[in-house]
């Protein structure tokens, strides 16, 4: 296997763990698309905590194991990752976690609405949808994810399971995973003080435009 890609996956896993947007047992999977090939590097270890190169497999986007180990329990959710690469030609990284607050919404079968500005800024102005439950990694589960996700939306809650994030780069995927968890946590805390309130739809678009304008302008220095 390619050492640079292995290191990249190890780095992504470590950053997801470091971000805190993960359950206590560290369960989850990271994958990155191999540039120019119909393959991904996929974490086949049960936890992202303490991941080693032995916990990473090279898997075809048709789901075939090419190199490394793929225990059946981790192999079961491969289809969730390959479907995101198939549907999004620009998708370079897929993350799956059971980050606690977002998973609370997934377990409640409730979407996360646009309660914080960062959601609007990162493609989730309409909130994070919920994909209906299907046994993990099954054709039904994958079909439900596809039914829930609109073009340009980079995250989905998996009912009674967890969160799936897919983006162009690992950096963006990690960022979106963190924003989704932050919004969920804030909303649950807000329930103690009257409940979360959505940002008005027209202002969500304004938040995105403002973020893009800053992005284009770059940081000005004196």
Contact between residue 30 and residue 192 where contact means Cβ atoms under 8 Å apart: no
Q: How far is the CB of 37 from Zn ion (least distance, A)?
A: 26
Structure tokens at 77: 């959710």
Alpha-carbon gap, residue 179 to 169, rounded angstroms? 15
Give the count of beta carbons closer than 10 Å to the beta carbon of residue 55: 21
Q: Which residue is nearest to Zn ion (CB)?
A: 162
Residue 137 engages Zn ion in binding (rule: CB under 5 A) = no
Taking the least distance from each CB to Zn ion, the nearer of 105 and 115 is: 105
CB of 89 to Zn ion, least distance (A): 25
- Binding segment for Zn ion among 48-56, 104-112, 161-169, 195-203 (CB under 5 A)? 161-169
Q: Is residue 163 within 8 Å of 96, Cβ to Cβ?
A: yes
**Among 92, 162, 170, 178, contact with Zn ion (rule: CB under 5 A):** 162
Which residues face 41 on adjacent strands?
32, 58
Applying CB under 5 A, the site for Zn ion has a residue count of 1
Residue nearer to Zn ion on the CB measure, 46 or 68? 46
Q: Shortest approach of Zn ion to residue 221 CB, angstroms?
A: 44
178 binds Zn ion (CB under 5 A): no
Minimum Å gap between C-beta 67 and Zn ion is 23
* Least distance between Zn ion and beta carbon 198 (Å): 28
- Cβ nearer to Zn ion, comparing 154 with 162: 162
Min dist CB 136 to Zn ion, Å, is: 6
Q: Which residues bind to Zn ion, rule: CB under 5 A?
A: 162
């Amino acid at each position: 296997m390619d050492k640079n890609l292995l290191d990249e996956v190890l780095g992504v896993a470590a950053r997801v763990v470091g971000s805190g947007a993960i359950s206590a047992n560290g369960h989850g999977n990271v994958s990155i698309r191999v540039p120019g090939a119909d393959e991904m590097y996929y974490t086949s270890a049960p936890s992202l905590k303490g991941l080693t190169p032995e916990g990473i497999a090279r898997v075809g986007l048709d789901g075939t194991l090419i190199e490394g180990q793929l225990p059946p329990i981790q192999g079961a959710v491969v289809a969730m990752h390959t479907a995101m690469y198939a549907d999004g030609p620009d998708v370079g990284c897929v993350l799956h976690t059971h980050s606690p607050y977002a998973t609370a919404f997934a377990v409640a079968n409730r979407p996360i609405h646009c309660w914080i500005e960062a959601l609007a800024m990162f493609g989730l102005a309409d909130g994070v949808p919920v994909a209906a439950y299907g046994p993990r990694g099954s054709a039904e589960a994958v079909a439900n994810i596809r039914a829930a996700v609109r073009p340009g939306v980079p995250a989905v809650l998996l009912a009674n399971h967890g969160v799936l994030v897919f983006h162009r780069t690992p950096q963006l995927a990690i960022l979106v995973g963190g924003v989704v968890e932050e919004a969920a946590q804030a909303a649950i805390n807000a329930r103690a003080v009257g409940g979360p309130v959505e940002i008005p739809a027209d202002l969500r678009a304004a938040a995105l435009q403002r973020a893009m304008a800053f992005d284009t302008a770059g940081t000005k220095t004196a």
